Amino acid sequence: MTAATDTGALLELVWAAPLAALIVTISWGLVVWGSTRAADSRREGRTGQATLHVAVAALGAALFAAAVVYGLLIMTAKD
């Protein structure tokens, strides 16, 4: 709570913060969706679909990891 309010930053916050939150929830949603569907597909013997679902889960995991790393960078770059 150390920086003075800036109208520009406030407006940016109003759209950027929910967008960041959505990126985090959607990326982890892809991980959960992809891994669950991949397990179901494997059980049903559809290996092609399972591979596709694993790829979706991996994409979600990469996005989520990037978001976490970005969060860590924000913490360390704080002034």
Partner 1 sequence: MDSDIILVIVVATALAFDFTNGFHDTANAVATSISTRALAPKTAVTLSAILNFVGAFISIKVAATVASGIVNADLITTTVIFAGLIGAIVWNLVTWYFGLPSSSSHALIGGVVGAAFAASGADAILGQGLLEKVMIPALVAPVVAFLAAGAGILITYRMVGRLRPGPVNRGYRFGQIASASLLSLSHGTNDAQKTMGIITLALVTHGTLEGPDPEPPFWVIVSAATAIALGTYSGGWRIIRTMGSRIYKMDPAQGFAAQGGGAAVLLTASHLGFPLSTTHSITGAVLGAGAAKRLSAVRWGLAGNIAVAWVLTIPAAAFVGALTYGVSRIFGQGALGPMLIAVSLLMLIAAMFGKRVRSGPAITAAADA
Q: Which residues bind partner 1 (CB under 8 A)?
A: 1-6, 9-10, 12-14, 16-18, 20-26, 28-33, 35-37, 39-40, 64, 67-68, 70-72, 74-76, 78-79
Nearest to partner 1 of 6, 51 (CB atom): 6
User: Residue 7 is which amino acid?
Assistant: T
Contacts of 60 (CB under 8 A, 6+ apart): 26, 27, 28, 29, 30, 31, 32, 33, 34
Q: How far apart are CA 25 and CA 40, in angstroms?
A: 22
The distance of closest approach from Cβ of residue 76 to partner 1 in the complex, given in angstroms and rounded to an integer, is 6
The distance of closest approach from Cβ of residue 60 to partner 1 in the complex, given in angstroms and rounded to an integer, is 10
